[in-house]
């Protein structure tokens, strides 16, 4: 699903015009990116948390030459899904009840 498909699906579900949904989606992503860039968190209960995480400097390997290279420390965006999100994605099939013996 791309951004356009998401806008169409949300507009259908909320009965809002697609232009309004796109405006809200753009605002949501802009505010989320700005907050995470300031090392803050955006927590949507049940959905998940967007945050910045520090990645330590490390030694990697150049795949073409096989020589070690230094990879600098960085701050990277991260997403941790909430319980409801995880449970929705990880649906397990219902177990069949065993027949009782008489």
* SS3 readout for 33-101: HHHHHCCCEEEECCCEEEEEEEECCEEEECCCCCCEEEECCEEEEEEEECHHHHHHHCCCCCCCCCCCC
| 13, 50 contact by CB (below 8 A) | no
Work out the mean pLDDT of the chain and round it to a whole number.
Answer: 92
| Element holding 2 (H helix, E strand) | none
pLDDT tops 80 at residue 94: no
pLDDT band of residue 102 (cuts 50, 70, 90) is: low
Q: What's the confidence (pLDDT) of residue 99?
A: 62
Radius of gyration of the chain (CA): 22
CB 71 within 8 A of CB 58: yes
């Amino acid at each position: 699903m791309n951004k356009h498909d998401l806008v169409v699906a949300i507009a259908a579900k909320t009965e809002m015009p697609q232009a309004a949904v796109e405006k809200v989606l753009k605002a949501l992503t802009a505010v989320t990116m700005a907050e995470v860039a300031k090392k803050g968190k955006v927590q949507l209960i049940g959905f998940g948390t967007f945050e910045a995480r520090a990645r330590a400097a490390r030694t990697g390997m150049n795949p073409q030459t096989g020589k070690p290279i230094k990879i600098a420390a960085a701050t990277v965006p991260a997403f941790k899904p909430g319980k409801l999100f995880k449970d929705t994605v990880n649906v397990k099939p219902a177990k069949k009840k065993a027949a009782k013996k008489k």
